[in-house]
């Protein structure tokens, strides 16, 4: 009976130690059990105690293992999953790291507590131990006791120093445990990475970066780090100060728990000021971090801790970015901001990681938009403002269950002012909050320190810079500060003279206050200050003139003085107009001056002055001239001289300082429609990326202006030149389905424009088609993947689906449903542009299974080769392909498919069933860089033939050499460098040696000797049989056969189109080969299923070289061979170029030649044969 009671008590102890129940529940259960016939501790905890079935099973297992070990408590190793303590399931987490296995549960205070129910009996494993203490005091009957947990640390020092005690809290990337620092006998916080990121290299790198960033910041407002280490399984952790107190969120909730009517009472006012002082401390800590090049990126009330002795600490630097260090240890960590974890969460107040880093309710618009390159110190200032908003309004600025909709509101800056939620909020304090939360970074406080200073002004009852206070408030302040004067006035209230004198004194003092504000305010605030100054200008006219006139040396003060005096002194208009071309003028000055001149009726005269300041048309615009054009845009948007300046303005805007981009867009908004075309031309020019980026930003600002009835058309006009990043930004601005439908309607007509032999237009249409596919209108894109005589658009679309983030599952679904063979080939190649893990594993396995079946059974050689490239080079399934090739190997072509695998050598051949006619050679339109010997002419091949899908490899040729000792294996030592692996094409092969290899291949295939194409002995002076092209043995392809196979139905300069931009996807050249050959079939095949037709190795052809003869219109040249002997002095044709050739010579029609005994390292070949007669 005692054993069962001890086990029952031990059940409660273990449940408490594992954090599955709280101490009150265990205490109540022990008390109830001590009463007569009371239920057991286990029954109570699994009933009213909230312990779930899975958790109860875990506790019973641990208790049983404890009994087996005679008092020791072996818990599951680090990483073992268990349920959350509420017993209702949820995400799994690991048990913390702790002392070595075999330590006993021991705490004298707790033993006394549970001994009340057992008449002093001590359950097994509960032997007292004086040095086991938990929390701050050893007399706490529910102090945390030591349990057997896995060891901590990367070495003896850290392993012995920090000992986890109990779970404390969980964040976005890590979880925190309270631990004992054995060296200094204190409690610390031990943070370790969460299980879901434990095996993620990028997650670990970010976690370590968090520790390094936090540890490098030495400020009273930032938690100090005591040490960094790793668990035995490699998971990192670090120790830091344990903060005892409450979060800023808790303090805000307590503050707002008081009735609204009491908010203006003394205690409430004091509490508000104390919380604002705390926020000032956070501003100062953040200003220090910014000075060290670190931004936090996740500031919110729950990440601010308040200590009991006045400490204010900014915590959780897990999303911090150390400017200048990238995002982590290597370049991949920067990309990891998009791949570390999905953007998910049930609450907008939870930290999310993904393309948008931070907490949605508090993140800046640039964070919500995913523009990570724009996130900086101003983004932290925004989050401080959002935290201030929460303090004032009692809730976050943004809320809602629809995360996408919430993100859109954050991007647009749509939130109610604090006074809408809490009318008691002071207007000046609200203004401080709204300035910190300005949508544009440049409209926010310049630094966290500047925000702290404005908070200090409010606390000191001084005017804040974010708000122009009404005259009555300034007067009230003056009265409070001059109470003696007011008292004197009140004493003499009956004397009208004294009353009037006091009144004008107050007005004069207020007017001087406005002038002081005018001197220091930002220029965009000046117009509102002048409205408030109003008629009181007369009281301070002398002071204003001292500001505006020489010898005042400060041009900014002169500008402000002239603006203030303009309503009464029209002569100031000329100075203001000419100020815009002064070196110190800014685009914001242009906006303010222009508004003042228009408001006070000086627009016409000022426009005439500006017209005389502009340089002659056709000259570049410097900064001063650009500001002058900006003035004219608002003064006279219909000026007749504009057409002569639009190009120069667009050029100057795109070479200006990017910091002014939004202001410049506002300056030129009156003529934005007419600037759009020259800006689009600059955007289309990829030779200047910076200018192109500024052009895109200006066009986006123009499209987003209000009102803009043509916004959809403006966005659509950007798509043909948009790269994937810009396309994403465009889509962010049109989240609504109806807007996207209108944009689809604007984009579809662009696909109907003719693009044959116009590679630039094909590039643009490819982007449009990819954008349509991403927007859910892929039905307009799929037909473009079919073969065409000009395949440029098809090729562009193949390579744009993945960068434009079209769903790979949609591409795979279309592939499996596509009936057209040529479109199938394109979709297979497009899938290869995605990362291997883009498709979920089960889906990828299903697609691979279908592709393997097609690889074996489908008759189309282009699809066969495309599948070979995808599965072998991208998905790592080469072994499965090789097995299928061995299964279908044969000696001759088969009737039901246009490819076959040779029985000997395992070579794949593409079958061309003749007769075949095509346009051989090139035209000036298709090949502007053509040679004179490429005269275009109709060519007819009257026979069927087969051609190898790849070049003969070094390994295959080495096998031939071993059987023919008279052929040297290497002639040039450089071959060993240029042919690094045996699966590269063979090199330094003479025409004669290639012919001998063909006979050897015929012999291996069992082809009768009378069908061999080259009579022995093979060498100079040999004669070729007249019926060579009728024999079925292996041979070199004729020049016509080679070009027909290379073109694969295209009329463009290359099989994939006319542009050089995609050459590196299909050919090894001097631009990408690093001066060596590469394994055959590494790059994509052409549409006929042939690899490396361009580049890698030159390929010998059968023909002697002849210049293309002049032909009469309509002549069709049959493909025949001349009956002449092969001699060294008569060159033979080589086709395709090599790894050392530049792009202009890598074309379908490009020809070269050399002596048949030449042994250049780049000379190789591929096999061909005439098809045997059909049975």
Last residue of a domain, one of 524, 541, 558: 541
Least confident of 45-49, 318-322, 647-651, 895-899: 45-49
Residue 406, in any domain of the structure? yes
Q: Are residues 390 and 281 in the same domain?
A: yes
Q: Please tell me the predicted confidence (pLDDT) of residue 265.
A: 56
Cβ atoms of 515 and 540 within 8 Å: the answer is yes
Report CA torsion sign: 640, 646, 652, 653: positive
Cβ atoms of residues 313 and 222 within 8 Å: yes
Note whether residue 729 is domain-resident. no
Half-sphere exposure in the Cβ direction for 120 (13 Å, CA): 0
Torsion of CA 561, 567, 570, 571, to 10 degrees: -10
The encoded tokens of residue 649 equal: 């303005």
Q: Is the pLDDT assigned to residue 288 strictly greater than 60? A: yes
Which residue is associated with the tokens 């200032």?
Answer: 381
Identify the burial level of 416 via C-beta atoms within 10 angstroms of its C-beta, where 0-12 means exposed, 13-18 middle and 19 or more buried.
Answer: exposed
Strand 1117-1118 vs strand 945-948: parallel, antiparallel, or unpaired?
unpaired
φ, ψ at 1155 (rounded to 5°): -65, 145
* Predicted confidence (pLDDT) per residue in 588-609, tens digit: 999 999 999 999 999 999 999 9
Phi, psi of 481 (to 5 degrees): -90, -10
Q: What is the pLDDT of residue 327?
A: 41
CA 1065/CA 515 separation, integer angstroms: 67
CB 1088 within 8 A of CB 1045: yes
Percent over 90 (pLDDT), the chain:
59
pLDDT band at 197 (very low <50, low <70, confident <90, very high): confident
Please enumerate in sequence order all residues whose Cβ is within 8 A of that of 719, keeping only pairs 6 or more positions apart, or say none: 727, 730, 747, 750, 767, 768, 771
How far is residue 118's CA from residue 30's CA, in Å, rounded to a whole number? 10
pLDDT, tens digit, 9 for 90 and up, residues 211-249: 888 888 999 999 999 989 888 888 899 999 998 899 999
Is residue 407 one of the residues assigned to a domain? yes
Residues 387 and 521 in one domain: no
Q: Give the pLDDT of residue 924.
A: 87
CATH number of the domain residue 184 falls in: 3.30.200.20
Last residue of a domain, one of 877, 892, 911: 877
pLDDT over 80 (residue 1101): yes
CA distance 704 to 1071: 41
Decide if pLDDT at 353 tops 90.
no
Strands 1168-1170 and 1034-1035: antiparallel
Do 799 and 833 meet the contact criterion of CB atoms below 8 Å apart?
Answer: yes
Structure tokens at 798: 């193949």
986 and 1118 in a single domain? The answer is yes
Task: Using pLDDT thresholds of 50, 70 and 90, give the confidence band for residue 285.
Answer: very high
| Cβ atoms of 806 and 773 closer than 8 Å | yes
The answer to whether 1029 and 1120 have CB atoms below 8 angstroms apart is: yes
Residue 1136 in this model has a pLDDT that exceeds 70: yes
Question: Using one digit for the tens of pLDDT, what is the confidence trace for 913-958?
Answer: 999 999 999 988 888 888 889 989 999 999 999 999 999 999 999 9
**Is residue 884 assigned to a domain?**
no
Q: How high is the mean pLDDT of the chain?
A: 84
Which helix H or strand E contains 1046, and what residues bound it? helix 1039-1047
Using DSSP's 3-state secondary structure scheme, residue 911 falls into: strand
Contact 1042, 912 (CB under 8 A): no
pLDDT, tens only, 1047-1089: 999 999 999 999 899 999 999 999 999 999 999 999 999 999 9
With the C-alpha atoms ordered 65, 67, 68, 74, is the resulting torsion angle positive or negative? Answer: positive
Q: How far apart are CA 171 and CA 901, in angstroms?
A: 58
Classify residue 309 by burial, with Cβ atoms within 10 Å: 0-12, 13-18, 19+: exposed
Q: Is 677 helix (H, G, I), strand (E, B) or coil?
A: helix
> What pLDDT, on a 0 to 100 scale, did the predictor assign at position 837?
92
d(CA 922, CA 439): 57
Specify the DSSP element, H or E, that contains 427: helix 427-436
Return the closest-CA partner of residue 18 out of 47, 60, 69, 64.
60
Q: Which residues of 345-368 are buried (b: 16+ CB within 10 A; e: fewer)?
A: eeebbebbbebbbbbbbbbbbbbb
Residues 229 and 255 both lie in one domain: no
Residue 392 has pLDDT above 80, yes or no: yes
Co-location of 1076 and 1118 in the same domain: yes
Same domain, 161 and 116: no
Do 228 and 287 lie in one domain? The reply is no
pLDDT digits (tens, 9 = 90+) for 1013-1034: 999 999 999 999 999 999 999 9
pLDDT single digits (tens) 65-112? 666 544 444 433 333 333 333 333 333 333 333 333 233 333 333 333
Angle at 512 between CA 511 and CA 517, to 5 degrees: 95
Give the separation between CA 105 and CA 73, rounded to whole angstroms.
7
Residue 152 has a pLDDT of 41
- State how far Cα 910 lies from the chain centre: 42
Give exposure, 1031-1052, as e/b (b: 16+ Cβ within 10 Å): bbbbbbbbbbbbbbbbbbbbbb
798-856 pLDDT, tens digit per residue, is: 999 999 999 999 999 999 999 999 999 999 999 999 999 999 999 999 999 999 999 99
Last residue of a domain, one of 541, 567, 589: 541
Q: Count the helices and strands in the chain (H runs, E runs).
A: 46, 24
CA-based torsion, 646, 648, 650, 656: positive or negative: negative
509 shares a domain with 428: no
162, 78: one domain:
no
Give the whole-angstrom CA distance, residue 75 versus residue 605. 87
Please, are residues 1078 and 1070 in contact by the beta-carbon 8 Å criterion?
no
Classified as helix, coil or strand, 1002 is helix
CA distance 185 to 405: 50
Range of the domain at 222: 152-242
* Residue pair 758/728 in contact by the 8 Å Cβ criterion: no
Phi first, then psi: give them for residue 814, nearest 5 degrees: -65, -40
- 547, 519 Cβ separation under 8 angstroms: yes
Q: Does residue 438 fall inside a structural domain?
A: yes
Predicted model pTM? 0.59
Structure tokens at 361: 């309710």
Q: Residues 6 or more apart from 411 whose CB is under 8 A from it?
A: 365, 368, 369, 732
Ranges 118-132, 633-647, 1100-1114, most confident: 633-647
pLDDT of residue 354: 46
> What per-residue confidence (pLDDT) applies to 49?
59
Instruction: Report the first-to-last Cα separation within the chain, whole angstroms.
Output: 94
Q: Write down the pLDDT at residue 349.
A: 57
Omega before 551 cis (within 30°)? yes
Is the domain of 307 the same as that of 331?
Answer: yes
pLDDT tens digits, residue range 690-722?
Answer: 999 999 999 999 998 878 888 888 999 999 999
Number of domains the chain is built from: 6
Least confident among 353-362, 480-489, 805-814, 867-876: 480-489
Q: Is the pLDDT of residue 28 over 90?
A: no
**Residue 178 domain-assigned?**
yes
Q: Is residue 687 included in any domain, yes or no?
A: no
Residue with tokens 């370590």: 208
Q: Is residue 1039 part of a domain?
A: yes
Mean pLDDT of the 248-262 span = 82
Give the pLDDT of residue 403: 86
Q: Residue 962 is part of a domain; what is its CATH number?
A: 3.90.1580.10
Residue 35 is predicted with a pLDDT of 56
Of residues 475 and 1050, the one with the higher pLDDT is: 1050
Closest to 867 (Cα-Cα) out of 884, 879, 881: 881
Residues 156 and 135 in one domain: no
- DSSP labels for 1019-1076? STTBPPPTTGGG--SEEPPPHHHHHHHHHTT--SSBTTBS-STTHHHH-B-TTTSTTS
Q: Exposed, middle or buried by CB within 10 Å (0-12, 13-18, 19+), for 1112?
A: exposed
Whether the per-residue pLDDT at 492 is higher than 50: the answer is: yes
Q: Which of 551-560, 795-804, 1101-1110, 1117-1126 is predicted with the least confidence, judged by mean pLDDT?
A: 1101-1110
> What pLDDT, on a 0 to 100 scale, did the predictor assign at position 477?
63
* pLDDT at residue number 479: 57
* Residues 1087, 987 within the same domain: yes
């Amino acid at each position: 009976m005692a054993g069962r009671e001890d086990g029952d008590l031990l059940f409660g102890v273990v449940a408490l130690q594992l954090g599955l129940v709280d101490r009150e529940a265990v205490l109540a259960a022990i008390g109830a059990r001590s009463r007569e016939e009371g239920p057991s501790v286990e029954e109570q905890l699994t009933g009213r105690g909230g312990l779930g079935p899975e958790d109860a099973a875990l506790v019973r297992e641990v208790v049983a293992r404890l009994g087996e070990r005679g008092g020791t408590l072996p818990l599951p190793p680090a990483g073992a999953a268990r349920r959350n303590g509420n017993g209702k399931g949820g995400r799994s987490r690991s048990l913390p790291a702790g002392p070595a296995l075999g330590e006993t549960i021991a705490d004298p205070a707790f033993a006394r507590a549970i001994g009340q129910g057992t008449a002093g009996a001590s359950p097994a494993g509960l032997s007292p131990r004086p040095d086991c203490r938990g929390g701050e005091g050893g007399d706490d009957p529910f102090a945390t006791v030591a349990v057997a947990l896995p060891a901590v640390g990367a070495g003896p020092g850290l392993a012995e120093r920090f000992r986890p005690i109990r779970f404390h809290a969980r964040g976005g990337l890590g979880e925190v445990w309270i631990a004992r620092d054995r060296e200094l006998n204190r409690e610390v916080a031990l943070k370790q990475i969460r299980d879901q990121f434990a095996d993620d290299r990028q997650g670990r790198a970010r976690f370590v970066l968090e520790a390094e960033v936090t540890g490098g910041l030495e400020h009273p407002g930032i938690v100090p780090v005591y040490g960094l280490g790793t668990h035995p399984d490699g998971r990192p952790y670090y120790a830091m100060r344990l903060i005892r107190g409450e979060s800023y969120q808790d303090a805000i909730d307590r503050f707002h728990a008081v009735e609204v009517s009491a908010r203006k009472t003394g205690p409430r006012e004091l509490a508000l000021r104390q919380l604002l002082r705390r926020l000032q401390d956070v501003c100062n800590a953040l200003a220090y971090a910014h000075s060290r090049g670190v931004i936090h990126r996740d500031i919110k009330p729950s990440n601010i801790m308040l200590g009991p002795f006045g400490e204010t600490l900014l915590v959780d630097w897990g999303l911090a970015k150390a400017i200048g260090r990238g995002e982590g240890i290597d370049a991949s960590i920067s990309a990891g901001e998009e791949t570390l974890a999905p953007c998910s969460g049930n609450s907008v107040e939870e930290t999310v990681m993904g393309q948008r880093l931070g907490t949605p309710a508090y993140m800046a618009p640039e964070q919500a938009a995913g523009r990570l390159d724009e996130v900086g110190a101003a983004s932290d200032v925004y989050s401080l403002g959002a935290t201030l908003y929460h303090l004032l309004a009692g809730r976050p600025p943004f809320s809602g269950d629809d995360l996408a909709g919430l993100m859109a509101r954050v991007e647009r800056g749509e939130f109610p002012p604090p006074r809408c939620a809490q009318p008691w909020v002071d207007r000046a304090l609200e203004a401080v909050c709204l300035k910190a939360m300005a949508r544009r970074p440049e409209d926010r406080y310049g630094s966290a320190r500047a925000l702290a200073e404005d908070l200090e002004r409010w606390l000191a009852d001084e005017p804040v810079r974010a708000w122009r206070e009404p005259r009555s408030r300034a007067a009230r302040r003056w009265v409070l500060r001059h109470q003696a004067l007011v008292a004197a006035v009140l004493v003499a209230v009956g004397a009208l003279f004294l009353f009037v004198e006091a009144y004008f004194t107050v007005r004069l003092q207020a007017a001087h206050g406005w002038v002081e504000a005018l001197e220091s305010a930002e220029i965009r605030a000046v117009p509102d200050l002048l409205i408030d100054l109003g008629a009181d200008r007369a009281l301070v006219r002398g002071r204003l003139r001292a500001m505006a006139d020489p010898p005042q040396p400060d041009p900014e003060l002169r500008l402000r003085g002239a603006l203030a005096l303009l309503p009464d002194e029209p002569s100031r208009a000329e100075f203001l107009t000419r100020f815009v071309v002064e070196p110190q003028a800014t685009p914001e000055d242009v906006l303010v001056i222009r508004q003042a001149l228009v408001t006070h009726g000086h627009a016409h005269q000022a426009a005439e002055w500006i017209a005389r300041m502009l340089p002659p048309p056709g000259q570049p615009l410097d900064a001063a001239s650009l500001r002058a054009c900006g003035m004219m845009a608002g003064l006279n948007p219909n000026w007749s001289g504009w057409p002569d300046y639009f190009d120069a303005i667009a050029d100057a805007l795109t070479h200006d300082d990017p910091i002014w981009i939004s202001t410049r867009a506002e300056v030129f908004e009156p003529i934005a429609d007419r600037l759009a075309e020259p800006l689009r031309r600059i955007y289309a020019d990829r030779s200047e990326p910076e200018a192109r980026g500024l052009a895109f930003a200006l066009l986006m600002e123009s499209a987003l202006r209000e009102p803009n009835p043509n916004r959809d058309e403006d966005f659509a006009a950007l798509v043909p030149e948009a790269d994937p990043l810009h396309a994403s930004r465009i889509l962010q601005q049109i989240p609504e389905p109806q807007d996207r439908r209108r944009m689809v309607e604007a984009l579809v007509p662009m696909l109907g424009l003719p693009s044959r032999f116009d590679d630039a237009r094909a590039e643009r249409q490819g982007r449009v088609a990819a954008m349509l596919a991403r927007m859910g209108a892929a039905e307009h894109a799929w037909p473009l993947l079919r073969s065409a005589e000009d395949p440029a658009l098809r090729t562009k679309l193949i390579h744009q689906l993945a960068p434009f983030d079209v769903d790979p599952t949609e591409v795979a679904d279309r592939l499996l449903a596509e009936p057209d063979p040529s479109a199938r080939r394109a979709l297979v190649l497009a899938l290869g542009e995605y990362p291997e893990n883009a498709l979920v594993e089960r889906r990828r396995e299903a697609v691979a299974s279908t592709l393997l079946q097609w690889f074996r059974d489908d008759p189309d050689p282009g699809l066969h080769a495309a599948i070979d490239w995808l599965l072998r080079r991208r998905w790592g399934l080469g072994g499965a392909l090789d097995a299928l090739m061995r299964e279908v190997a044969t000696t001759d072509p088969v009737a039901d498919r246009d490819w076959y695998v040779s029985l000997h050598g395992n070579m794949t051949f593409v079958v061309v069933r003749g007769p075949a006619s095509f346009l051989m050679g090139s035209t000036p339109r298709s090949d502007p860089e053509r040679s004179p010997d490429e005269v275009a002419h109709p060519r007819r091949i009257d026979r069927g033939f087969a051609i190898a899908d790849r070049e003969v490899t070094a390994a295959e040729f080495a096998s031939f050499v071993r059987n023919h000792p008279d052929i040297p294996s290497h002639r040039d030592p450089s071959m060993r460098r240029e042919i690094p692996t045996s699966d590269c094409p063979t090199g330094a092969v003479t025409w004669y040696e290639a012919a001998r290899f063909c006979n050897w291949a015929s012999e291996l295939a069992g082809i009768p000797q009378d069908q061999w194409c080259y009579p022995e002995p093979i060498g100079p002076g040999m004669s070729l049989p007249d019926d060579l092209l009728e024999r079925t043995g292996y041979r070199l392809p004729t020049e016509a056969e080679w070009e027909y196979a290379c073109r694969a139905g295209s009329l463009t300069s290359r099989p994939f189109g006319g542009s050089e931009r995609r050459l590196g996807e299909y050919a090894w050249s001097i631009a990408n080969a690093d001066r060596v050959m590469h394994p055959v079939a590494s790059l994509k095949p052409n549409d006929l299923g042939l690899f490396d037709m361009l580049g890698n190795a030159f390929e010998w052809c059968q023909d002697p070289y002849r210049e293309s003869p002049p032909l009469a219109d309509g002549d069709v040249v049959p493909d025949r061979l001349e009956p002449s002997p092969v001699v060294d002095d008569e060159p033979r044709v080589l086709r395709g170029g090599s790894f050392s050739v530049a792009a202009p010579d890598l074309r379908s029609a490009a020809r070269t030649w050399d002596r048949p005994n030449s042994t250049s390292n780049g000379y190789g070949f591929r096999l061909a044969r005439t098809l045997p007669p059909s049975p």
